[in-house]
């Protein structure tokens, strides 16, 4: 595992210049100057300052990579270790035990095994749970809201084993959600917006956490842990173990770059909804997971997602005559449902993508 030199961490708190470095090209950003209790801090500090440097670094990383890593993020290591341990114990259970909380075409949350995924090349098993329970579905006469309600249930399926599994998951979710919201404030500031500009979209969020297990694959040249894709939500906060395997497609030349694990860091990436809100200033980027022939790999992504009723479109503050809107409004509920349907039914029609909402210029 790549370790962060303590001297680098201490120095990063005091140096006035940008503290951005790279790990296989992916920007690495030290969040130690961030104060989680004061949302307006960054707008009051003189520039340059440690926080204003971080805002600049995040903006550059979002624009040039769509990915970055963070250290000194203030998510307690103990809670991170507890959910990692809980995930390993859960996936170590018998298949019969795990299938007791298996997801289906009605309830999208719970366990499913690799051979039941649409892409048969994916080599993994997962467990999903929503951060907010119950998931809020507003009463409405609008057909698309009724459709969301009828098509799927959004209830967490908690296993009885291992003991304290639910507690470990919920405690971790609370902490990583704080980090996600703080990162959204910094992203907003990097776009020239008020720090709380995005917060209202998550009052009734559909954010979820996924526990991933990638077993050793005897034929790594024939399978991927997870095929190339872009994340549909807003922001992903990934906790990966020291096995690694994540690869990011570099925007500058299309090359696949392996992201080396860094001790107690998180990998952050921009999702499709930020791409739309920012009017393509920040782009959601393709990534994939390579399998390992000898070792199990575990990862835990947190997917920040808005309320089902949210209409996502380029923000008014970012568009003008020189930068007209590039997308028509996307209803997150409709978009999410369309994507989830593809997990359970085969279709000859291409999966819904944000470019289907592109406006002709």
**Per-residue pLDDT at 12 exceeds 50:** no
Render pLDDT for 190-222 as a digit per residue (tens, 0 to 9): 999 999 999 999 999 999 999 999 998 877 666
228 band by pLDDT with thresholds 50, 70 and 90 = confident
Q: Which of 258, 249, 259, 248 is nearest to 70 (CA)?
A: 259
Render pLDDT for 48-82 as a digit per residue (tens, 0 to 9): 788 899 999 999 999 999 999 999 999 999 999 99
**Per-residue pLDDT at 269 exceeds 50:** yes
Residue 13 has a pLDDT of: 39
For residue 29, the cross-strand partners are 70
Beta strand spans in 196-346 (E) = 208-214, 226-229, 235-240, 246-249, 256-258, 266-270, 287-289, 297-304, 311-312, 330-331
- Kindly list the structural domains of the chain, giving each domain's residue range(s) and its CATH number in brackets, ordered by start: 76-357 (2.60.120.330)
Beta strand spans in the chain (E) = 21-23, 26-30, 67-71, 110-113, 125-130, 208-214, 226-229, 235-240, 246-249, 256-258, 266-270, 287-289, 297-304, 311-312, 330-331
Query: If you average pLDDT over every residue of the chain, what do you get?
Result: 84
For residue 238, the cross-strand partners are 267, 301
Residue 140 has a pLDDT of: 46
**Per-residue pLDDT at 352 exceeds 90:** no
Render pLDDT for 131-171 as a digit per residue (tens, 0 to 9): 997 665 554 445 445 455 545 667 899 999 999 999 999 99
Nearest-angstrom CA–CA distance, 153 and 210: 17
Q: Are 96 and 90 in contact (CB under 8 A)?
A: no
Q: Are 333 and 144 in contact (CB under 8 A)?
A: yes
Q: Which is it for the CA torsion 116, 121, 127, 131, positive or negative?
A: negative
Residue 280 has a pLDDT of: 97
Residue 227 has a pLDDT of: 78
Nearest-angstrom CA–CA distance, 259 and 24: 6
**Per-residue pLDDT at 40 exceeds 60:** no
């Amino acid at each position: 595992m790549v370790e962060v030199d303590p001297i680098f961490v201490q120095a990063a708190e005091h140096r006035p210049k940008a503290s951005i470095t790279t790990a296989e090209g992916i920007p690495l950003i030290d969040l130690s100057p961030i104060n989680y209790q004061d949302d307006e801090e960054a707008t009051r500090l003189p520039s340059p300052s440690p926080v204003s440097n971080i805002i600049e670094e995040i903006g550059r990383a979002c624009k040039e990579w769509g990915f970055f890593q963070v250290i000194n993020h203030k998510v307690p290591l103990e809670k991170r270790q507890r959910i990692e341990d809980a995930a390993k114990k859960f996936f170590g259970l018998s298949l019969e035990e795990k299938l007791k909380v298996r997801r289906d075409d009605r309830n999208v949350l719970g366990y499913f095994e690799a051979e039941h995924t649409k892409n048969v090349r994916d080599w993994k098993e997962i467990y999903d749970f929503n951060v907010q329970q119950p998931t809020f579905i507003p009463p409405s006469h609008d057909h698309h809201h009724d459709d969301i309600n009828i098509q799927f249930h959004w209830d967490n399926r908690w296993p009885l084993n291992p003991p304290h599994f639910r507690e470990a998951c919920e405690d971790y979710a609370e902490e990583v959600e704080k980090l996600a919201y703080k990162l959204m404030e910094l992203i907003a500031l990097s776009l020239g917006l008020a720090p709380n500009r995005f917060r209202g979209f998550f009052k009734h969020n559909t954010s979820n956490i996924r526990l991933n297990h990638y077993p050793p694959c005897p034929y790594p040249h024939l399978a991927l842990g997870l095929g190339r894709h872009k994340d549909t939500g807003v922001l992903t906060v990934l906790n990966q173990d020291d096995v690694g395997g994540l690869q990011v497609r570099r925007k500058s030349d299309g090359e696949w770059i392996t992201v080396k694990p860094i001790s107690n860091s998180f990998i952050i990436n921009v999702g499709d909804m930020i791409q739309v809100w920012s009017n393509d200033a920040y782009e959601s980027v393709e990534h994939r997971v390579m399998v390992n022939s000898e070792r199990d790999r575990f990862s835990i992504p947190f997917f920040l997602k808005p309320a089902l009723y949210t209409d996502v479109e380029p923000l008014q503050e970012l568009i003008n005559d020189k930068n007209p809107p590039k997308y028509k409004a996307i209803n997150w509920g409709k978009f999410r449902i369309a994507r989830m349907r593809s997990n359970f039914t085969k279709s000859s029609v291409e999966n819904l993508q944000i470019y289907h909402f592109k406006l002709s210029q």
